[in-house]
Amino acid sequence: MDLSTYDANCLGNPTFNLFGLPVTEPEARLVIVPVPWEVTVSYSAGTARAAENVRKASRQVDLYDPHHHDLWRKGFFMREVDKKILLKSDYLRKEAELYIDYISSGEELEKNNFMCRSLKEINEGSRFLNNWVHTQTSELIRQGKLVALLGGDHSTPFGFIKALAEKHDSFGILQIDAHCDLRRAFERFTYSHASIMYNVLEELPAVSRLVQLGARDYCDEEIDYINASNGRVVPFFDRHVKEALYEGATWQSVASRIIDALPEKVYISFDVDGLQPNLCPNTGTPVPGGLEPDQVFYLLRKLIESGRQIIAFDLVEIGVGDNDWDANVGARLLLQLCNLLTASNPA
């Protein structure tokens, strides 16, 4: 269907795609790859099933955006969830739960052959997932599509960031997150959700800088890594940002400092636990404090105005609760991110 004549005031048709838009993948400017994976989550599960909930909630989202009017007419399309990936995640998640319970009690891993096999299988599964994501996203990038990823836990974008590193010689990452995700092989899971940025920095030299916003739950190992990074990791910890605001700084001035730390090309990695926890209370590891969505999207609009380019994004860790609140918020975050990515790449 020609979206230039589509009436956005009508009800979202459940037979259509994301946001109720009658668009196919070949027609779409932006394609979203859902990744239903949560094998290594260390607290609450559910994010593997976020994509379908977000798709359903998206039909209730009004498409009007005063900052980026009618960009949805370029076409936003989300692929179907791959049920084989979801089944693999479910199976390995059960293995991981048994393993985490075992090591949490202080038992020695090497004394239990079953647990050793489980750990090996989980790590092999994570490498499989990385390769699958890399294949999916690389194909879309070669087709000239704008690409985004919808998780799943925060381990899911590694293969996507690798694909981008093969296209772009150098770019930075702006990470919105309550956590630094700089632990090396957390719980011995090589590609843990808590190790995503460590793995990116160690394996992908094209990522020239990591700027972190919202972190408020981290460990000595991560602080040591930041301090030893020679400026490659630039944290804007939640408490430092709040203290600056309490003492009279404006969000405009804070946003300007964050943007100044970023290079010309920027990938957005948006973990919803970077927001205030009442917004997505069923995220895997909620933490008191955090940001409002308006603060984040003001920052991203200013980033584009600065002349920097958003090259892609992920949106991860949207939980599943007793109602649709997390998906409702997630769908609105997703629309804003789609608009910003499209606005940053007008060609």
Per residue, what are the HEC states of 49-64?
HHHHHHHHHHCCCCCC
Element (H, E) at 70: none
- 245: its two tokens: 């605001």
Domains and CATH numbers, the chain: 3-344 (3.40.800.10)
- Does residue 193 contact residue 155 with C-beta atoms inside 8 Å? yes
- Does residue 273 contact residue 285 with C-beta atoms inside 8 Å? yes
Residue for token digits 């918020």?
329
- The predicted model scores a pTM of 0.96
- Own/partner pairs for 236-239, CB < 8 Å, 24+ apart? 236/211, 236/212, 237/212, 238/178, 238/214, 238/289, 238/290, 238/291, 239/289
pLDDT tens per residue across all 347 residues of the chain: 678 888 888 766 778 899 999 999 999 999 999 999 999 998 788 999 999 999 999 999 999 999 999 999 999 999 999 999 999 999 999 999 999 999 888 878 888 898 999 999 999 999 999 999 999 999 999 999 999 999 999 999 999 999 999 999 999 999 999 999 999 999 999 999 999 999 999 999 999 999 999 999 999 999 999 999 999 999 999 999 999 999 999 999 999 999 999 999 999 999 999 999 999 999 999 999 999 999 999 999 999 999 999 999 999 999 998 889 999 999 999 999 999 999 999 97
Strand partners, 149: 33, 314
Q: How far, in whole angstroms, is CA 74 from its chain's centroid?
A: 22
Beta strand ranges found along the chain (DSSP E): 30-35, 76-78, 146-151, 171-176, 207-213, 233-236, 265-271, 309-316
- Does residue 33 contact residue 159 with C-beta atoms inside 8 Å? no
Residue for token digits 């090396």?
184
